[in-house]
Amino acid sequence: MSDFDYDLFVIGGGSGGVRAARVAAGEAGAKVGLAEMDRYGGTCVIRGCVPKKLMVFASEYSHMPAEARAYGWDIADGAFDWSRFHAQLKTELDRLEGVYRKLLSGSGVDSFDARARLKDAHTVELSNGEVKTAKHILIASGGRPVRPDMPNAHLGQVSDDIFHWERLPRSVLIVGGGYIACEFACILHGLGVEVTQYYRGAQILRGFDEEARGLIADAMKERGIDLHTGTNIVEMHRADSPEAQGMEAAPVEASQFGGAHEDAPGSGPVRVKATNGNIRDFDAVLFATGRAPNTADMGLEELGIGLSRNGAIEVDEYSQTKVPSVYALGDVTDRVNLTPVAIREGMAFVETVFKGNPTPVDHELIPSAVFTQPEMGTVGLSEEAARDQEEIEVYCTSFRPMQTAFADRPDRVLMKLIVSKATRKVLGCHIVAPGAGEMIQLAGIAIKMGATKEDFDRTVAVHPTMSEEIVTMRNPMRSA
């Protein structure tokens, strides 16, 4: 009989933690407990990928009537009903949370709706007063959005708050230039909100391919998003506060941002002065300036578990911490913060610990997508990173796709391959286009397998499609 209550205790009910728990219990026969202090499904299902993608779908319909009219349909412009969409969204998230709970119970996992912290290397304390012991502990507590360190930052909101809005603001300032900031800029603009975006850097989407992010920035401006790079907030106050009275700004109409957040911090209007001299009132300010791992007050440092400067748990290639019985995966480790990666890390953990098959986590050549409008799909190296590594050829084309060109819309797409001169392997693929996320998944398979440019060339094109350009680019645009 085991000396512990459980073979495995998981802290965190997000995608990675749930996958590890139910596979360890269902396939490896382990006795597993799991604690979640909030809703099951974690960031992805409850306040990230899933609700955000549903909002992307909703926002894309705003352009449909005008495009349909160009194709001969007698369709009038309509109005977006946030309350109706939001009610359906909450119903769907409730359904998905129920699915996660059923997956755990169906696998024989004991679930605890409580916060957990480590008491020692084999013991967790729950906020409901219970204490549980386990041979192995897996921390999958995820991350959270953070506000910048500046006066009155509490007047702004973060991405988690958007999913609780009862009404849409008339105007919003989004601060940040990463994928979360840019995605919500496109979403809210598509839903009819007047969107201004400030980013302190020279170009949005830092770290992605420069040509691709430039095209997305141009497209966002073309659609009507008021994007300001090299710009940050100098000061912000409630528009009706004494501090704001000395800051002249054009007043906004009565705020529509009410409902459940009527008295919450961040409710508008907020008066903002920017480094470019602009002073404006906004119904809401949204900070998308970074995320932090959820490691505070978990008893980690007391046990000797290493934490990085931003609070991420330090692990080896098998997701093991400096305390042998404690492992960590997902956003709390700040390796590659993507849901499918956390799931893969969970599977590798079970293989390593419960199936006797040591399996390091493979973080190479991970496809990803940014759900701006248009979308960006990317896998492998950017042109800039690749040319710092070796001599390359760049195959690239940008054009107006058939569907939107017929409707006389200015949208452009980009197809780009980065190729090693020495090996002819495709080092990177970058697509900016409607449905780029769907396309890059399939391109990612070929690139992960080590496909060369000639392998792409030998593939017959599917015509007429945007994606056929990936296999029809014969001559390099440039070498580096």
Give the count of alpha carbons within 13 A of 160, CB side only.
Answer: 11
Asked if 361 contacts 333 with a C-beta cutoff of 8 angstroms, the reply is: no
Binding residues for FAD: 53, 331
- CA distance linking residue 375 with residue 413, whole number of Å: 9
> Of the listed 164, 237, 363, 463, which one is catalytic?
463
* Beta strand residue intervals within 78-232, DSSP E: 110-112, 116-120, 123-126, 131-139, 143-145, 171-175, 194-199, 226-229
The SS3 of residue 243 is: helix
Preceding peptide of 269 cis, ω within 30°: yes
CA angle at 58 for the pair 53 and 60, rounded to the nearest 5°: 95
**Residue (of 262, 219, 196) closest to 374 by Cα position:** 219
Burial of 407 (0-12, 13-18, 19+ CB in 10 A): middle
What gap in Å lies between CA 388 and CA 395, rounded to an integer?
Answer: 17
Binding-site residue numbers are 53, 176-183, 290, 331
Which element (helix H / strand E) includes 354?
A: helix 339-354
Residues 266 and 154 sit within 8 Å (Cβ to Cβ): yes
In the residue annotation, 463 being an active-site residue is answered as yes
Q: Residue 478: phi, psi to the nearest 5?
A: -165, 165
Q: Which residues are catalytic?
A: 463
